[in-house]
């Protein structure tokens, strides 16, 4: 059995900087807020949504393992609904959309939610020795946020992987900085023109000075130039390195969710889809994309990369951009830690 899967809504939070506006929120809390708005915009009775998949990668609190369940209940879904969290590293949010779509295709449900949330600012430190008893002396703490950004086969931090690719493909520092400047330029222009307004869920954050509404991506630096980037030092390779804090993707916080449906069920209910999931694939493969058509409103260097959320956030941006330019198809692709990649194609309806 295979059924067409359509998108009824796609929303995201604005992306927060590391230690920024969203850093006080736990993933389940932030995820619940964004998921609730996704349900509201879909026009679907929450009681009819009984399948939720949430991408999330970094432990942050004692509810980490329950992030999907807590977020879905906070979003207003019934206790009878089911929820699952998954970790496919950078692609977790996009994989969650695909996983829920697969459940719909197989007839396990008619309506479902897929997406992701990550609050990297709250990534925990772990001490494995404490479980068995450190006994005496110093013990080691593991940064679980950095662990997610570290190659499991011994290469080191993903920044080191970037330096290895720089060497392999003979990329210059100027080429990398130019890409970063263009990413910030595109993102700043998109924000200025209000291109993201329709997709962003305003998040109200309680502070000592009162409530603050967060609704604009805060990692973007509109004043980024080749001159300012040239002053930055390499972070991951001190001698002869070229990957800096200015031309690398950000460490960020955010959430994004889709409400998906079986096409026939949505049609009978009078619900108007905004897109259709055409195809998807996951593989170990290198990059080969036309820069002119890639990240037209800026990429992770400017907008940030909240790991478990990024795939869903990119898909959200792609679908809203399809609506804006009245395009036909959008290709959503991204990396997966460990040398893999994922791609999905959406069609505007």
Active site residues: 90, 305, 335
Beta-carbon count within 10 A of 137 CB: 6
Beta-carbon count within 10 A of 152 CB: 10
Q: 175: phi > 0 → left, psi -120 to 50 → alpha, else beta; which?
A: alpha
Alpha-carbon torsion angle 216, 255, 305, 308, nearest 10: 180
Alpha-carbon torsion angle 343, 320, 261, 107, nearest 10: 0
At residue 153, the 3 state secondary structure works out as coil
- H helices of the chain, in order, are 27-42, 67-74, 92-105, 129-132, 144-148, 158-168, 173-192, 226-230, 263-268, 300-303, 307-325
């Amino acid at each position: 059995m295979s059924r067409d899967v359509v998108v009824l809504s796609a929303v995201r939070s604005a992306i927060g900087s590391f230690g920024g506006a969203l850093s006080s929120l736990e993933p389940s809390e932030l995820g619940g807020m964004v998921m609730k708005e996704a349900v509201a915009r879909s026009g679907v009775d929450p009681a009819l949504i009984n399948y939720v998949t949430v991408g999330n990668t970094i432990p942050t609190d004692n509810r980490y393992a329950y992030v999907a369940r807590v977020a879905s209940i906070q979003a207003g879904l019934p206790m009878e609904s089911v929820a699952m969290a998954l970790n496919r590293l950078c692609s977790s949010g996009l994989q969650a959309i695909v996983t829920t779509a697969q459940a719909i295709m197989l007839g396990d449900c008619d309506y479902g939610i897929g997406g992701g949330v990550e609050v990297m600012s709250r990534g925990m430190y772990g001490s494995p020795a404490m479980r068995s008893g450190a006994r005496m002396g110093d013990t080691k703490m593991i940064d679980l946020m950095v662990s997610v950004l570290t190659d499991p086969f011994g290469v080191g931090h993903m920044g080191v992987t970037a330096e290895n690719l720089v060497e392999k493909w003979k990329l210059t520092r100027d080429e990398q900085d130019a890409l970063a400047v263009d990413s910030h330029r595109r993102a700043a222009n998109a924000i200025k023109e209000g291109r993201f307004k329709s997709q962003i869920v305003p998040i109200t954050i309680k502070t000592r000075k009162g409530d603050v509404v967060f609704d604009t991506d805060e990692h973007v630096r509109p004043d980024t130039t080749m001159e300012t980037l040239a002053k930055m030092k390499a972070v991951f390779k001190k001698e002869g390195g070229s990957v800096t804090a200015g031309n690398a993707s950000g460490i960020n916080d955010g959430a994004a969710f889709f409400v998906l449906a079986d096409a026939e069920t949505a049609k009978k209910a009078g619900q108007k889809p905004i897109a259709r999931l055409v195809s998807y694939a996951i593989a170990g493969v290198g990059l080969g994309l036309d820069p002119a058509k890639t990240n037209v409103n800026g990429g992770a260097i400017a907008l940030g990369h909240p790991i478990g959320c990024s795939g869903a956030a990119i898909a959200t941006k792609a679908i809203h951009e399809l609506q804006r330019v009245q395009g036909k198809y959008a290709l959503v692709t991204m990396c997966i830690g460990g040398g893999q990649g994922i791609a999905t194609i959406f069609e505007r309806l």
